[in-house]
Structure 1
Amino acid sequence: MLAALIALELAALAVVFVVLVVDVLVLPAASLGTALALVVTDGLAVVTLGAVLVGIWRGRAWVRAVAVVFQVLIAAIGIGALQGAFAQPGWGWPLIVVGIVGFVLLISKSAKAWLSRRDEDA
């Protein structure tokens, strides 16, 4: 279940990355530097979350901390989406739910048991 949720998050993040790349290439940016920084940051997040997913499949202990940070950030983005003049509860609440579900899955006993293995080569 945890791997499926992380895979779904990775797919959504990859879609955002593709949309951002297309936007930078097609639409005029108010600040090209900011647009490129956003694309690079999202690309790094895609690579990192992909590594976390592989680590989860392999049952590696190091992925737990990184995955918890991602879940907290997802929930924080959702909370931010609910605030201000341009609040977007249509995608703010789902982000909060996904972040909380991911966090709960990461602290579950089954996840702890699976993710307690260490790299044998290290």
Structure 2
Amino acid sequence: MDEPRRHPLLIILAILVFAECALMSIAAVYLVVELLIDVPASFASAIALTVLVVIAAVWLGVTGVNTLRGASWVRGAIVTWQVLQIAVAVGAFQGIFARPDIGWALLIPSLVVLALLFTRPVLAATTRRDDPPVV
């Protein structure tokens, strides 16, 4: 059977979510290595942060796969992640240890993903087929 073709905007959205997943996976590996070779100020906090980053990486992977499948729940998951990422980006622009480069690197992809998420083709691809269309 022929699988229905996915719209290019849906594919771009999934690629961006997978890229975020890859970066979170790299962060998780980095945190595990740091946990093994360095003594953290708070062992409990270091473990908790590492676990949260691993969970986020896995969740982004699941979300990326289901984006390609056209699952309707991914819109909420993607919006939630982008809002969290924007919050971190805003924090990166402020304070004594401000890193505007990191802030822009987080903010721009988040805004692109949010814009893609609400395009007609992506909304159509991620709308439940058994629901009546929204007018």
TM exceeds 0.5?
yes
TM-score by length of 2: 0.85
Q: Distance in 2 between matches of 1:26 and 1:64?
A: 39
**Pairs within 5 Å for 1:26-41:** 26-41=37-52
Structure 1 residues 17-28: aligned runs within 5 Å: 17-28=28-39
For 1:86, the equivalent position in structure 2 comes to 97
Structure 1 stretches of 4+ moved >2 Å: none
Larger Rg: 2
The within-5 A match list for 1:52-63 is: 52-63=63-74
- Partner of residue 44 from structure 1, selected from 50, 55, 58: 55
Distance 1:43 1:56 in 2: 20
Q: For structure 1, which segment, 69-78 or 31-40, has the greater mean C-alpha deviation from structure 2 after superposition?
A: 69-78
**Which residue number corresponds to residue 113 of structure 1?**
124
Q: Deviations 1:84-119 (Å, cap 9, x if unpaired)?
A: 010001111121111111111111111101111369
Question: Relative to 1, partners in 2 of residues 1:9 and 1:49: Cα closer, same or farther, differing over 3 Å?
Answer: same
Aligned partner letter, 1:110: P
Provide TM-score, normalisation by structure 1: 0.93
C-alpha RMSD of the superposition = 1.2
Contact 1:74 1:98 in 2 (8 A): no
The count of corresponding residues between Structure 1 and Structure 2 is 119
Correspondence 1:97 to 2:108: yes
Contact 1:75–1:98 (Cα < 8 Å) also in 2? no
**Amino acid across the alignment from 1:11:** A
